[in-house]
Amino acid sequence: MDLAIVIVNYSTRRLLWECLASVYGGQSNFSYEVWVVDNASTDGSAEMVAAEFPQAHLIRSEVNGGYAYANNLGLREILDLGCQIPSYVLLLNPDTLLPPSALADMLAFMEEHPEAGAAGPRLVRPSGELDLACRRSFPTPISSFYKIFGVSKLFPRSPRFARYNLTFLDPDETVEVDSVVGSFMMVRREAIQQVGLLDESFFMYGEDLDWAYRMKAAGWKVYYNADVRVLHYKGEASKTSRKARYEFYRAMYIFYQKHYRATTPLWLHWLVVGGIALRGGLAMVQELIRSHQGKLARSGAQG
């Protein structure tokens, strides 16, 4: 088998159907299979997959253990295939739509770059804007400081201050980066076998950065492939979730503690930790206010 695709779903039935239709409707001059891991959805997603895409391997998780946990359920099953272990694994979000040649083009790219442990395409939002997460540098203490305190927004063309989201780079340029995003992350089998599975300390967010960090530490490269475009609706399963906001900042803290705390000066350590706590707290307060305003608006409409 050339490719195994793992799609983690949580209550995005309509988008999952569209994603699977785009996967199975694409060019397939290669062998592939799809694993859908349903994270205890409540909208009938798993039943839809069983009924309409019976060719997919369906894993029903009894609990929503998070993104890394669910992907690992699929990865373990794939890595247990023995001689049928695929050459590549693709982590794919259900809120993506693939053009017909996307998978074939990404596989060709990986074959042309044997040093690549992972690669991702140009992810584009429905507005046509680049999804900045599709090519990233590692959130070092200093780049995180610039991001948390808004310096990167003030100087988006600066290689120094805008390092976090690499906004100084040309979106049309294929380039080596620190990490691509787990929404579409194609990974070489040997890289997985060398560095292991995703770190389940991350519930959602950060696990892809951590995976890429471990791959690069092991000598692999990671690439952003500007020539392949994939539509990404982004955040459909978590856009109204206060837990998602909490987990975003928690992931920043876990990544920092795991990879940078030991070498960070004390003054910068407290700035980073304080900034994460401040921004995370503000985000939670804003979410609570929006939620309260939404409830008032709904009750007013009903009255």
One domain for residues 186 and 289: no
- pLDDT of residue 173 exceeding 90, the answer is yes
Q: Give dist(CA 141, CA 121) in Å, integer.
A: 27
Domain CATH for 118:
3.90.550.10
DSSP 167: T
pLDDT at residue 68, as a whole number? 95
Alpha helices (runs of H) in the chain, residue ranges in sequence order? 13-24, 45-52, 67-79, 102-112, 141-148, 151-154, 189-195, 207-217, 242-259, 266-302
Q: Give dist(CA 44, CA 9) in Å, integer.
A: 11
Hey, what are 283's tokens?
């985000």
Q: Is residue 169 part of a domain?
A: no
Q: Give dist(CA 265, CA 281) in Å, integer.
A: 24
- pLDDT of residue 299 exceeding 70, the answer is no
pLDDT at residue 236, as a whole number? 59
Q: Is residue 171 part of a domain?
A: no
Q: Is residue 115 part of a domain?
A: yes
Hey, what are 102's tokens?
């996307």
pLDDT at residue 286, as a whole number? 53
One domain for residues 256 and 125: no
One domain for residues 20 and 78: yes
One domain for residues 77 and 189: yes
One domain for residues 106 and 213: yes
- pLDDT of residue 2 exceeding 80, the answer is yes
Q: Dihedrals φ, ψ of 207, to 5°?
A: -70, -30
Q: Is residue 274 part of a domain?
A: yes
Report CA Rg, the chain.
19
Q: Which amino acid is at 97?
A: L
- pLDDT of residue 205 exceeding 60, the answer is yes
Lowest pLDDT segment from 61-65, 139-143, 226-230, 288-292: 288-292
DSSP 178: S
- pLDDT of residue 296 exceeding 50, the answer is no
User: What's the number of domains the chain is made of?
Assistant: 2
Q: Is residue 173 part of a domain?
A: no
Residue with tokens 């109204």: 240
Confidence of residue 40 (pLDDT cuts 50, 70, 90): very high
Greater confidence (113 vs 281) lies with 113
- Considering 201, 233, 265, which residue would you say is the last residue of a domain? 233
Three-state DSSP class for 91?
strand
Residue with tokens 């040997």: 190
One domain for residues 197 and 261: no
Instruction: Say how far residue 29 (Cα) sits from the centre of its chain.
Output: 26
List the domain range (segments joined by +) for residue 283.
243-302
Q: Is residue 198 part of a domain?
A: yes
Pairing of strands 88-92, 96-97: unpaired
Burial 219-243 (b: 16+ CB within 10 A, else e): ebbbbbbbebbbbbbbebbbeeeee
Q: What percent of the chain has pLDDT over 90?
A: 67
Q: Is residue 89 part of a domain?
A: yes
DSSP 100: T
Prediction pTM value: 0.86
Mean pLDDT across the chain, nearest whole number?
88
One domain for residues 117 and 250: no
Helix (H) or strand (E) holding 39: strand 32-39
DSSP 151-171: HHHH-TT-TTTTTTTTTTS-T
One domain for residues 127 and 252: no
Q: Is residue 166 part of a domain?
A: no
pLDDT at residue 88, as a whole number? 98
DSSP 303: -
Which residues fall within 8 angstroms of residue 74, CB to CB, at 6 or more apart? 4, 6, 8, 35, 37, 57, 59
- Nearest Cα neighbor of 93 from 10, 3, 202 is 10
What tens digit of pLDDT does each residue of 84-141 get?
A: 889 999 999 999 999 999 999 999 999 999 999 999 999 999 999 999 999 999 988 8
One domain for residues 197 and 259: no
What tens digit of pLDDT does each residue of 206-253 get?
A: 899 999 999 999 999 999 999 999 999 976 555 545 677 777 778 778
One domain for residues 49 and 88: yes
- pLDDT of residue 271 exceeding 80, the answer is no
The answer to whether the beta carbons of residues 6 and 88 sit under 8 Å apart is: no
DSSP 65: -
Q: Which amino acid is at 76?
A: R
pLDDT at residue 295, as a whole number? 45
Q: What separation, in Å, do the N-terminal and C-terminal C-alpha atoms of the chain show?
A: 59
